[in-house]
Amino acid sequence: MGQQEIWDTETARRYDTPGTGMFAPDVLTPTVDRLAALAGDGAALEFAIGTGRVAVPLAARGVPVTGIELSLPMVERLRTKADGTAIPVVIGDMATATAPGAYALVYLVFNTISNLLTQAEQVACFRNAARHLAPGGRFVIELWVPELRKLPPGQEAIVCHTEPGYIGLDTYDTLRQHVVSHHFRFGESKEAELFRSPHRYIWPAELDLMAQLAGFERESRHADWAGTEFTADSRSHVSVYRLAP
């Protein structure tokens, strides 16, 4: 299943959860604070802008934001919050599409680089970020750390998250570095809804090498947007790469 089929009208409709989940203030505020500080007085470009979860509050902070997005339904959802003058969006693949202008910051949040399912596409994404940045500009990626330590020999799946009415299950293909996330949502009835998304997971060191191939140097890596120290036990990271001046 292609990304355009995954991020369809129904998914876009269900994506926004105002005030909770990814949209909770304790998740979103540190993200926007950090990105605004990194952008400074310059403009920002969001790869896979989606429904504007980050772009809308970042633009409200005075940072000019442009987006690239593959899914028309996601952009249509964004347009209920901000028009094309406030937040311009180019329809296309984040590994190849081009937005006009030069930017101080390109950013890619919430594991989205893993939606590119080959190493070559992921490297191309870095190179596309470099093409859009002014000298000395930064590329920021938020990404989870592969949880293979939880995967016993011979087992191909782990439960990644549970809460009332929800179970998340990840199935791994360690040969190709692929994982499929299965999201089960259910109520009191016997039926459950399933949403699946494929990913190619990336080790932090591999991500750094991709950056080097595109002309970046790593400037920092933290466990979250608030700047918590990244350790061997961290489940995710926010990595900042800087293009040579």
* In the chain, where the domains are located: 3-146+202-243, 148-198
Q: Taking the model in full, what pTM does it have? A: 0.93
Q: CB under 8 Å to 204, separation ≥6 — which residues?
A: 143, 145, 221, 237, 239
Per residue of the chain (245 residues), what is the pLDDT tens digit?
566 667 778 888 888 888 888 889 999 999 999 999 999 999 999 999 999 999 999 999 999 999 999 999 999 999 999 999 999 999 999 999 999 999 999 999 999 999 999 999 999 999 999 999 999 999 999 999 998 888 888 888 889 889 999 999 999 999 999 999 999 999 988 889 888 899 999 999 999 999 999 999 999 999 999 999 999 999 999 999 999 88
Burial 170-184 (b: 16+ CB within 10 A, else e): bbbeeeebbbebebe
**CA-to-CA dists, residue 113 to 30, 58, 63, 191, 234, angstroms:** 20, 20, 23, 32, 19
Q: How far is CA 226 from its chain centroid?
A: 17
Q: Using the 8-state DSSP alphabet, how is residue 89 labeled?
A: E
Residue with tokens 């369809």: 8
The encoded tokens of residue 76 equal: 């249509």
Q: Which residues pair with 67 in a beta bridge?
A: 46, 89
Mapped onto helix, strand or coil, the DSSP state of residue 139 is strand
As assigned by CATH, the class of the 3-146+202-243 domain is: alpha beta
Positive or negative: CA dihedral 200, 205, 208, 210: negative
